[in-house]
Chain A
Amino acid sequence: MSLITPLSRRRLLAGLAAATASALVLTACGGGDDSGTGSTAGGWSLPSSDPTATIKVLSILDLKTAHMQEVIDAFEKAHPTIKVDYQSVPFDSLNSTLDARIANKGGDPDVYWADQPRISALAARGEAEDLTKAFAGFKSSFDPTAYDSGMFQDKLWALPIANSSQLLYYNKALLKKAGLAEPSADPNQRMTWEQLTKDAAKAKSSGAQYGFLFGQFDRYYQLEPLPVQLGGSPGATGDKNLTPDFTSEQWVKAFTWYGDLFKQGVAPKGMKSEETDPAFVAGRAAYMVEGPWLIPQLGASKVDWGVAPQPVFEGGKPATPTGSWSLAMNPFSKQKEAAAVFMKWMAVDEGGGYIKYRSDPELAASPEGKKIYFQKSVFSSPAGKDAAKIIDFETSNTAVNRVPTIGYIEFETILNQAFADIRNGADAKTALDSASAQLTTAWKKYQ
């Protein structure tokens, strides 16, 4: 009993102080630790025969509901000595999860899904392995814009496994009701945004609940082509693309048009991206600009639909969104060769195992993969055939990548918020100016 007595304030304080001190030491060590970036470009190459390994793969696609099991099974069949330990996390949590896990330096995950416009940031943060030596030789297998999305400072950091494009879908019944002609599927007879606004307003007054929908309102991916069509920049300029450039006349003009869509009631405020597809598929919207992932849903719906190329501003030059996901490698991976085998199989082999074996059709990033893609049954209908032609044209002629910058995350977050403000009624110029000031502050840390 007497042993316990000296538990006094002093001792408790001493304990606390010791704990505090050790925390200080720990953190200080962490701060000064310079084990730094992993072994870049050293010590591994694409192996000629398969190693025996289990690789951890981090994705945003659910194994079951997004049909990734089929893909993984096909890979393990083709490469029986390599097992895949697959995990998916929600899209919104991917970047923070990667930031934390890669910094643990334990090599978990070995391979991960990388959002293409964020590849520069991943490379600059030391979270991606340099793939130039192993994969630059496959450059010709990919569409040029898709391949370029993996480049940062003249090195290759990620392999594209998919691509995307945008189309103008329309509801034939609603157009007929409003007495509107169906837009042409020929890329040379592209509709103008000005015409679309008028027609959509007419469709709405003739009974459509929504005149026009963007698949993803308020998102840079979807809206970047608007100012670019008018000759504006993709949004950033200067050394390493770290100077905001979205307050030009072209940007203000494009986004004044965007704001007017909602002021005139042609498009709805307050609708989230997850709600747009169900609205069109339920026959509530006359027009919608959306990606090819809508085609299978439309095929299964009662809607009589058609497709046309995404519109262009009067006097502007066509430009369309592009880009999707790539695979990148953790620089701290302990199984880089097995990881490389997996990446090559997913992106290159047979036009890309990811495209070939996944039953959800997804646009390929390579010409060979696109052939497989266009043979899928969803393109067999007349409208499906039109869609295939348009997608093929846009990905080779009008696609504009999102701006590559190591500060992409701040760029996209702040810009998307400005778009939302414009949609909610803020003046385009004021909103873009204020976003520009905000981004300049946020980007100071990179200067």
Chain B
Amino acid sequence: MTTTPALPVRTRRVKTSTVVLTAVAVIVGAGFVLPAIWILIGSFRPNAEILTTMSPLSWHLVIPSEVTFENYVHLLVDSGFARALLNSFIVCIASVAIGLAMSAMAAYALAVYQFPGRNLIFAVIVISFMVPFEAIAIPLAQQFTDWGLGNTMTGLILPGVANGLAIFNLRQYFLGIPQSYREAAMIDGASEPRILFSLYARLSGPALTNSALLIFLGQWTAFLWPLLIVSDQKLQLAPVALAGTFGEHAADYGQNFAGTIVLTLVPAVSMFVLQRFFGRLSIGSGEK
């Protein structure tokens, strides 16, 4: 912010523009969240009411005739969803921890060092995330089964660990960190791992958050892979369990919506918290 004392007129203009910008931000935010709100409301109403209130248009669309927690109770207590949720959580946390460390190291090497073959490796990484996972899932699942990784947590975690997109994202961010920082740290006697994990990582809060999110969401929404690799009901993941609310002839929209809300809240809340936490740790703020 400017440190010169602002004139009264100027202050007022700033205020009007802030008001306008805030209004736009609120409207945009509300517009994006609207369909999710409808799902949220649906998760608290009787199953039969969810789609029958869609037309004709009336206030019943958003106001339930009764508020019920039945959907959540059925989902979390009576079906196997709670266990699947825990499984998903374990898989995601493990994937993020391993995947992020791996990606940060690779990104650092690609951003900082000059070495022959660097561009080739980078190209391989870029191409690796272009090939749709669905195209390689079946042969990979067969390979995993041969290795004895079928029906194991390791088998669920591994494919999420190798994320070329996360490497690419971190590399782009690391390239923006001036080399001089690193050189200065070296003069101070810091080792390479130390430069990476305490200097670069500290300056890259937002990029690390985003990359963690990339890996997390990839695993959190995994559907095809667990179907192929897990036949033990106890190891099933949440998205597969949620799909079970669709029967052959009918769907339990109430439970489906309740599950949708649970699955939405976990990444949304963690992202909100992480943003507050890491938002300040960036190159821009570091130089202030």
A and B co-occur in one complex = yes
Asked if A215 and B233 sit within 8 Å, CB to CB, the answer is: no
Identify which of A37-45, A89-97, A239-247 touches chain B.
A89-97
Complex Cα distance, B253 from A104, in Å, reads 35
Residue of B nearest to A290 (CB): B249
Asked if B243 and A93 sit within 8 Å, CB to CB, the answer is: yes
Complex Cα distance, B151 from A56, in Å, reads 13
Which residues on the A side are within 8 Å of B145 (C-beta)?
Answer: 104, 106
Interface of B toward A, CB cutoff 8 Å: 47-48, 51-52, 55-56, 74, 78-80, 116-117, 120-121, 124, 138-139, 141-142, 145, 150, 224, 227-228, 231-233, 236, 240, 243-253
- Determine chain A's interface SS by DSSP, over half rule: mixed
Identify which of A60-68, A227-235, A394-402 touches chain B.
A60-68
Asked if A12 and B249 sit within 8 Å, CB to CB, the answer is: no
Supposing A62-B79, A65-B252 touch, asked if A103 and B244 sit within 8 A by C-beta, the answer is no
Name the distance in Å between A113's Cβ and chain B's nearest Cβ: 10
Supposing A63-B233, A64-B79, A282-B52 touch, asked if A89 and B240 sit within 8 A by C-beta, the answer is yes
Across the A-B interface, the 3 shortest Cβ-Cβ residue pairs: A9-B117, A9-B116, A274-B251
Asked if A91 and B248 sit within 8 Å, CB to CB, the answer is: yes
Which residues on the A side are within 8 Å of B139 (C-beta)?
Answer: 27, 30
Contact of A109 among B121, B231, B247, B253 (CB under 8 A): B231
> A279 on the interface (CB 8 Å rule)?
yes
7 example contacts (A-B, Cβ-Cβ < 8 A) are as follows A56-B231, A60-B248, A65-B74, A100-B142, A100-B228, A101-B228, A103-B142
Supposing A104-B142, A279-B52 touch, asked if A66 and B249 sit within 8 A by C-beta, the answer is no
Which residues on the A side are within 8 Å of B79 (C-beta)?
Answer: 62, 64-65
A304-330 with Cβ < 8 A to chain B: none
> A435 on the interface (CB 8 Å rule)?
no
Contact of B249 among A64, A88, A215 (CB under 8 A): A215
Supposing A58-B231, A64-B78 touch, asked if A8 and B117 sit within 8 A by C-beta, the answer is yes
Complex Cα distance, B141 from A99, in Å, reads 12
Asked if B48 and A273 sit within 8 Å, CB to CB, the answer is: no
Complex Cα distance, B228 from A235, in Å, reads 33
Name the distance in Å between B73's Cβ and chain A's nearest Cβ: 13
Name the distance in Å between A423's Cβ and chain B's nearest Cβ: 17
Name the distance in Å between B182's Cβ and chain A's nearest Cβ: 20
Name the distance in Å between A213's Cβ and chain B's nearest Cβ: 13
Asked if A64 and B80 sit within 8 Å, CB to CB, the answer is: yes
Contact of A86 among B55, B138, B233, B244 (CB under 8 A): B233
Which residues on the B side are within 8 Å of A60 (C-beta)?
Answer: 248
Interface residues in A, total, Cβ within 8 A: 49
Complex Cα distance, B243 from A343, in Å, reads 26
Complex Cα distance, B232 from A63, in Å, reads 13
Supposing A16-B124, A65-B244, A106-B145 touch, asked if A278 and B51 sit within 8 A by C-beta, the answer is yes
Which residues on the A side are within 8 Å of B231 (C-beta)?
Answer: 56, 58, 87, 101, 108-109
Complex Cα distance, B224 from A30, in Å, reads 22
Asked if B78 and A65 sit within 8 Å, CB to CB, the answer is: yes
Which residues on the A side are within 8 Å of B47 (C-beta)?
Answer: 278
Asked if B116 and A97 sit within 8 Å, CB to CB, the answer is: no
Residue of A nearest to B253 (CB): A274
Supposing A12-B121, A58-B231, A63-B233 touch, asked if A275 and B51 sit within 8 A by C-beta, the answer is yes
> A28 on the interface (CB 8 Å rule)?
no
Asked if A291 and B240 sit within 8 Å, CB to CB, the answer is: no
Asked if B244 and A88 sit within 8 Å, CB to CB, the answer is: yes
Which residues on the A side are within 8 Å of B228 (C-beta)?
Answer: 97, 100-101
Residue of A nearest to B241 (CB): A62
Name the distance in Å between B151's Cβ and chain A's nearest Cβ: 9
Which residues on the A side are within 8 Å of B244 (C-beta)?
Answer: 62, 65, 88, 90
Complex Cα distance, B232 from A274, in Å, reads 28
Which residues on the B side are within 8 Å of A274 (C-beta)?
Answer: 246, 249-251, 253
Contact of A273 among B142, B233, B249 (CB under 8 A): B249
Which residues on the A side are within 8 Å of B120 (C-beta)?
Answer: 9, 12-13
Name the distance in Å between B12's Cβ and chain A's nearest Cβ: 51
Which residues on the A side are within 8 Å of B253 (C-beta)?
Answer: 274
Complex Cα distance, B243 from A180, in Å, reads 41
Which residues on the A side are within 8 Å of B48 (C-beta)?
Answer: 278, 281-282
Which residues on the B side are within 8 Å of A65 (C-beta)?
Answer: 74, 78-79, 244-245, 252
Supposing A274-B250, A278-B52 touch, asked if A100 and B138 sit within 8 A by C-beta, the answer is yes
Complex Cα distance, B47 from A215, in Å, reads 18
Name the distance in Å between A9's Cβ and chain B's nearest Cβ: 4
Complex Cα distance, B236 from A100, in Å, reads 17
Residue of A nearest to B244 (CB): A62
A102-154 with Cβ < 8 A to chain B: 103-104, 106, 108-109
Name the distance in Å between A280's Cβ and chain B's nearest Cβ: 10
Complex Cα distance, B278 from A56, in Å, reads 47
Interface string of A260-295 (1 = CB under 8 A from B): 000000000000011101110110100000010100
Asked if B117 and A13 sit within 8 Å, CB to CB, the answer is: yes
Asked if A91 and B117 sit within 8 Å, CB to CB, the answer is: no
Contact of A93 among B138, B227, B232 (CB under 8 A): B227
Name the distance in Å between A90's Cβ and chain B's nearest Cβ: 4
Complex Cα distance, B141 from A56, in Å, reads 18
